[in-house]
Homo-oligomer: A and B are copies of this chain.
Amino acid sequence: MIYFQCDYTEGAHPLIMQKLMDTNLEQSPGYGYDKYCESARAKIRAACSLPDADVYFISGGTQTNLIAIGSMLRPYESVISAVEGHIACHEVGAIEATGHKVTAIVSDDGKISAQQVREICADFETSPDHDFMVKPGMVYISYPTESGTLYTKRELMDLRAVCTEYDIPLYIDGARLGYGLMSPKSDITLPELAALCDMFYIGGTKCGAYIGEALVINNPKYKACYRNFIKQRGGVLAKGRLMGIQFDTLFTDGLYFDICKNAVAQALRIRKAFEDAGVTIWGTSYTNQQFPILTKAQLEKFEGKFAYEFWGKLDEERTVVRFCTCWATKDENVDALIEVIKML
């Protein structure tokens, strides 16, 4: 069985594993104070063109989200998110468990618009029920979204503008950031994206690392006592270098971007194969996730050979499924998959 089900099926990029082996018996200080973490932080600051940003490594996306969001909201504030946002549906109410409502916006393609944010903020300010409503306190978006769509630079600038207008922070969940930035449809660079955010994270787990996300704090307002806050939420690893070494490797010689670019290229090969076979593709993902719409008969063709993820039923006959590539996807596996697709 070859897995195209998700983008966390393998371990870490071989260069990371090698570095972990090479340094394994070195002694280093704990809790992220080691030289690998320091080096990784410097490289990430450089890659983001944010020389003053604070950078922390946290073990997973849900934990990064609950820490970041909890650090920016006042108790009576909510976070605005698309209904499809990871925090709104697939984190077991992790944000609510820290005391905050997720104000979910209905969206066709997983993206929310500046206009939608403006309406929610304006409604709060002008409603006669103002005193009884939760205050919209920040905006959460994913880049790319959970369904692989991408905000344009213009859309991100508009979101930034409405956040500035209402004095609330903008946060980007970058679990698959590399796969978004390296999409041929992306019109924004990492420094441009970074400059628009108050805080965001660069996903490692799905983009070459075994574990780890790099939380980047751009707005100095949120920097105080951040180590304490992360520790309180259980997010500090004693052997912090495990993540430092990974991010240091990923941000050396552009490895992060190269492997993500390749994964997107593989995904687009799969997309083209489906299109050539006359299969309709759901949504508009030009990232590492592809969502063909398949009939039961077509799905049977993959059985026992290729694993995909069930995404949703369109109707009695047709199902949306997901095929993912990642940094570890092999040419020959994609070739083999395409052979099956050709026969649909």
Contact = CB atoms under 8 A, between A and B. Distances in A.
Nearest to A67: B234
B234 A235 contact: yes
Contacts of A12: 24
Interface string A58-96: 011111111100110011101000000000011111101
In the complex, the count of this chain's copies comes to 4
A273 to B, nearest CB: 20
Nearest to A64: B234
Interface in A129-166: 129-135
Given A75-B97, A96-B100, A98-B99, 9 more contacts: A11-B23, A14-B24, A92-B229, A93-B134, A97-B232, A128-B310, A210-B242, A211-B238, A211-B239
Given A8-B239, A76-B232, A242-B211, A100 B93 contact: yes
27 contacts: A1-B27, A10-B24, A11-B20, A59-B211, A59-B234, A62-B231, A62-B236, A64-B234, A67-B234, A76-B93, A78-B93, A90-B129, A90-B132, A91-B232, A92-B132, A92-B135, A93-B134, A94-B232, A94-B233, A96-B96, A97-B99, A97-B232, A97-B233, A128-B309, A128-B310, A131-B228, A211-B238
